[in-house]
Structure 1
Amino acid sequence: MATFEIPTVTTERLRLRAFRPGDLDAYSAMQANPDVMRHMVLGRTSTPAEVWRTMLMSLGSWALRGYGMWACERIDGEVFVGSVGIFHPLDWPEPEIAYSLDRPFWGQGLATEATRAARDWLFERFSLSRAASFIRPDNLASKRVVERLGAVCERTFELRGSAYEYWVHHRRPA
């Protein structure tokens, strides 16, 4: 049996941790919301079975790559907020700092806080000079998140049949 560790990262208001079976209901409800999902890779809502596969893929990425997506929860009350971390399927050009929060948590700075923590964790542990965030051109809120973190838009490109802006997070000199 292979074993691997998924670290927990804590910020002022959030905890990034491994997905648990108990996350399925909240994560499924989040991914059943068209407002949440319109900017995601599939651009559509997901069934609970698809969300379960997403959770499994997130966990497996940690074993295969040493990084992956976390479940994100509020520290006060352990309420599921969404997912954040490093997304890197085989057809991605480089690791992506990705995030998706449930609708009740928008507009509170939580995406910026969680994304900063994921980016900093990645750069502290891997010798990458950069990572990306792939954002649909009409997702203005997501662009504001990465702009606050200092990412720059390099170009627009096509990924899995949709147009995305290719935002780059550069490692800051030590």
Structure 2
Amino acid sequence: MTRFDIPTLRTPRLVLRAFREQDLDAYAAMQANPEVMRHLGTGQPRSRAETWDGMARALGQWALRGIGLFALEEAATGRFAGRAGVLHPFTWPEPELAYALDRPFWGQGLATEAAAAIRDWALTTGGLPALASFILPDNTASAAVARRLGAVRSGTVSILGLTADRWAHRRA
């Protein structure tokens, strides 16, 4: 059996770790929420089966590329809070710093906290030369996170048939 390592990162309030089968219930509930999903992917909620497939793809990307999504766990409680990491599907133009929190965790600065830790890891230990975020123009909350991270808007990209703003990240 082939095994691969997924790092665990820690911030003051979060543990960023590999997805586990036990995350499925909370992650599926998050991805079934239209409010959470409106700016993610095609904007459609996902089924439990689609969520499972997404977790498997996330783990597979770690095996194939050495980068991927982390499950976000609230350090104080152990509750599943969302997901964040580096997406780089075969058809993507470049690695994307992506983040999404479940609704109860919005507005607390956790997306910025997680994304900053991932950006710093990806551009150093993770070995990536560059990193971008692809944000739909009406997703003002994610654009605000990118700005707080020091990212600069640098054109647009076509992803999943949608036009997104490209935000370029650099080391802190």
Q: Give the TM bin, normalised by the shorter chain.
A: over 0.9
Matched, 1:156 2:151: no
Q: Which runs of 5+ in 2 are unaligned?
A: none
Q: Which amino acid is the alignment partner of residue 142 of structure 1? A: S
Q: Which amino acid is the alignment partner of residue 106 of structure 1? A: W
The count of corresponding residues between Structure 1 and Structure 2 is 172
Q: Which amino acid is the alignment partner of residue 20 of structure 1? A: R
SS of the residue corresponding to residue 154 of structure 2 reads strand
| Residue 21 (structure 1) aligns with | 21
Q: How far off is 1:162 after superposition?
A: 0.8
Query: Aligned partners of 2:84 and 2:62: how far apart in 1?
Result: 13
Identity value in percent: 55
Q: Which amino acid is the alignment partner of residue 7 of structure 1? A: P
Query: Aligned partners of 1:86 and 1:128: how far apart in 2?
Result: 10
Q: How far off is 1:129 after superposition?
A: 3.1
SS of the residue corresponding to residue 154 of structure 1 reads strand
Query: Aligned partners of 1:70 and 1:47: how far apart in 2?
Result: 20
Distance change >3 Å, CA 31–CA 159, structure 1 → 2: same
SS of the residue corresponding to residue 89 of structure 2 reads coil
Q: Which amino acid is the alignment partner of residue 76 of structure 2? A: D
Query: Aligned partners of 2:156 and 2:63: how far apart in 1?
Result: 31
Q: Is the 8 A contact 2:67 2:126 kept in 1?
A: no
Distance change >3 Å, CA 21–CA 127, structure 1 → 2: closer
Q: Is the 8 A contact 1:94 1:131 kept in 2?
A: yes
Please give the per-residue CA displacement for 1:19-55, whole angstroms capped at 9, x wherever unaligned.
Answer: 0111000000000110100101121000000000000
Matched, 1:84 2:72: no
Q: Is the 8 A contact 1:130 1:171 kept in 2?
A: no
In the superposition, the TM-score normalised over structure 2's length comes to 0.97
Query: Aligned partners of 1:126 and 1:19: how far apart in 2?
Result: 18
- The alignment yields a C-alpha RMSD, in angstroms, of 1.0
| Residue 38 (structure 1) aligns with | 38
Q: Which runs of 5+ in 1 are unaligned?
A: none
Q: How far off is 1:128 after superposition?
A: 3.1
Q: Is the 8 A contact 1:73 1:81 kept in 2?
A: yes
SS of the residue corresponding to residue 54 of structure 1 reads helix
Q: Which amino acid is the alignment partner of residue 31 of structure 2? A: Q
| Residue 122 (structure 1) aligns with | 122
In the superposition, the TM-score normalised over structure 1's length comes to 0.96
Q: How far off is 1:130 after superposition?
A: 1.7
